[in-house]
Amino acid sequence: MDELTSTFVTESRDLLAEMEAGLLRLEQAPDDRDNLNAIFRAAHTIKGGSGVIECRYIERFMHKVENLLDLLRNDALPVTPELATLLLACSDHLGTLLDVLTAGLEAPDAATSARGEKLEAQLSACLPCEEAGAVPVEQAPDVKASGGGVVSLDGWHISVRFGRDVLRNGMDPLSFLRYLATLGEIVSIETIADAMPDAAAMDPESCHLGFEIRFQTRASKDEIEHVFEFVRDDCTLRILPPRSKIDDYIALINDLPEDAMRLGEMLVRCGALTQAELDHGLAVQRAPGAAEGEPLAAPPIGEVLVEQQVVHREVVEAAASRQATVSQKKAAEARLVRVQADKLDQLIDLVGELVIAGANANLLAHQSGRGALIESTSVLTRLVEDIRDAALQLRMVQIGETFGRFNRVVRDASRELGKEIELVITGAETELDKSVVEKLGDPLMHLVRNALDHGIEPPAVRAAHGKPEAGQIALNAYHDSGSIVIEVSDDGAGLPREKIRRKAIERGLIDETAALSDQELVNLIFEAGFSTAEQVTNISGRGVGMDVVRRNIQGLRGAVDVRTTEGEGSTFTIRLPLTLAIIDGFLVGIGNASWVVPLDSVVECIELPGAADTRDYLNLRGEVLPLVRLREMFEVGGEVPARQNVVVVQYAGHKAGLVVDALLGEFQTVIKPLGALFSKLRGIGGSTILGSGEVALILDVPALVELVASAQGRTHGEPRTRDLRAVP
């Protein structure tokens, strides 16, 4: 795609998201005029942009959609659920057409075209006539014009002067004129090139063009203005409606920078004025100076009847308020810079290499023992940290956009299933890495669809159990201990443990005599192909969802947990790292090797008491602290030092103690993924490069904590947090 088309696609996708969100609100609040106008503006802007880039299949389709929306906002049609469903289907089809444009295809394929034709037929069936939605120009008999009268010829007059930077910004003035012609007929056009410099001083990238256009159309003034939407801030645009006063044309001539006489002649040539009307208007304008005699007499009363509309103060204030809001929005958008994702990824990679190089410089400085050099590298390290934080912040996005997509999913699924379901979103402003957000969509989709189908009961069943007929699904996100926590909960029937057990025995996953805890039993739903659904639906029941959820979440170095109460509902909790690129780490030593513990999970460090050399737990101020002896777990050889340390880590409310040989301090860690050969290693989350050039492995704290927590829960069935105040 060229730059102009790429910009159109990007902005259209943003407008499409706003349009879909507005359509979902339309059902709940059909009388919300601001929302309806926002939907119309989004559709109209997309149509206008498609005309500028000459994408006819999008322009033709959006013209139909725009006609229907125009009837809705003018109260010519009522808002119904069926109409909202049709418009949502149109928004889906528009997304498909944008994909076709992105792929560089000249036209959609046969299936897409057939789907579009079907939607266009449904749209036409809702319209009173083929041209519904256009604002007709009122036909009036010709009247004799005079100084304060109206012009005898019907038609709009458009005066446009393009700014100097229009060509540099990738805009073609002729494209706007071609798109204008799709709204009506350009009766005549005069080209203004008075600002054109001499050939020697001319800059071929600067635009010096202007046009005086006589235009016949049934479109409204807003629609004509939207033709120039993409250059609205870089052009001077004046539009005079049909049968405007001669005074308005004289004011236009005076406002424009060109010679008044030449402009007047152009207006006469294009049919906006007659020569007599022009001369008369100029004479009336000169009269107040009394330099050339007495002012001309005003036309007799009744010669021309001009209807004037009285605009109420409230309307003016409302319009001013809306204009101020639009101006603020444009100002905010002007401060935004769109950057391609691959450029951000390249920046993060370079920052990672900078972190490693900075660590090497800091190590060499300390080895040299030179104070000035050590101080200089300390300043460098601090600056690198600031650059790292700023670069990572560039990739942080709010999760609200991802959550917002499920409004449509819940709405469509609840209609298909015959259920009343409400979606509640909290924590939408929570930020996390863009790369994490992109890979989070599928797991969340599976969880939400399972909650819709399996979790929420039909209205009759809920009423029989004393519940509200309308079920509720909640999406929540928040930060916790350097991780992001995402919860998907519902107030449905919960997970049937006995049914899960029977299905697991039937599929051979467990033995009939197996003694499983409630949590282990519930976790069986994450096995591949496992499903308790009695029948397959369009939404779920095939057993291909929950194992995908766990696999994708683990691929993001995260974990998923489920809590459920039969008859009350279930909550699925996803824990993910904030970023997959660079983290703060705590360096520890085991034997001759160095290991990295993510600093966000470190609670404290203590010395391992000599009496605990043979135990797998520790009394930490009266609470059981299970120990993970990393030397034994990873089979590190060598002599065990006389003094060992414990790094207390925490994850998802569980604590564990990592027994290490030495504490080496904080360290900026650039995460390097392990190869496929090491993908099954338990307890290792990646690798990094130290300042010395050595490779250090990064510990997977969630896996280690889960390991000791599950082992402790199976030991004699004892609770995980015993009171050990009597233990030495």
pLDDT of residue 488: 93
Model confidence band, residue 501 (pLDDT cutoffs 50, 70, 90):
confident
pLDDT tens, residue by residue, 613-656? 667 888 888 888 888 888 888 888 888 888 889 999 987 778 88
Structure-block tokens of residue 156? 């709009």
Q: Which residue has the higher pLDDT, 259 or 440?
A: 440
pLDDT of residue 299: 38
d(CA 575, CA 66): 43
Q: Which residue has the higher pLDDT, 270 or 123?
A: 123
Rg (CA), the chain: 35
pLDDT tens, residue by residue, 553-566? 877 878 888 888 88
Interior angle at CA 421, CA 417 and CA 426, nearest 5: 140
**Residue 662 zone, left/alpha/beta (φ > 0; ψ -120 to 50; rest):** beta
Question: Residues 50, 15: contact at Cβ < 8 Å?
Answer: no
pLDDT tens, residue by residue, 417-459? 889 899 999 999 988 888 788 888 888 988 998 888 888 999 9
pLDDT tens, residue by residue, 97-125? 999 998 888 889 999 999 999 998 898 88
- How many helices (H) does the chain have, and how many strands (E)? 22, 21
Share of the chain above pLDDT 70, in %: 80
DSSP secondary structure string, 327-360?
Answer: HHHHHHHHT-----HHHHHHHHHHHHHHHHHHHH
Tell me the whole-structure pTM to 2 decimals.
Answer: 0.60
pLDDT of residue 537: 55
Exposure pattern of 508-545 as b/e (b: 16+ CB <10 Å)?
Answer: eebeeeeeeeeeebbbbbbbeebbbeeeeeebbbebeb
Pseudo-torsion of CA 403, 406, 407, 412, nearest 10°?
A: 180
Model confidence band, residue 271 (pLDDT cutoffs 50, 70, 90):
low
d(CA 2, CA 10): 12
- Range scoring the smallest mean pLDDT among 547-551, 674-678, 698-702: 674-678
Question: Residues 25, 37: contact at Cβ < 8 Å?
Answer: no
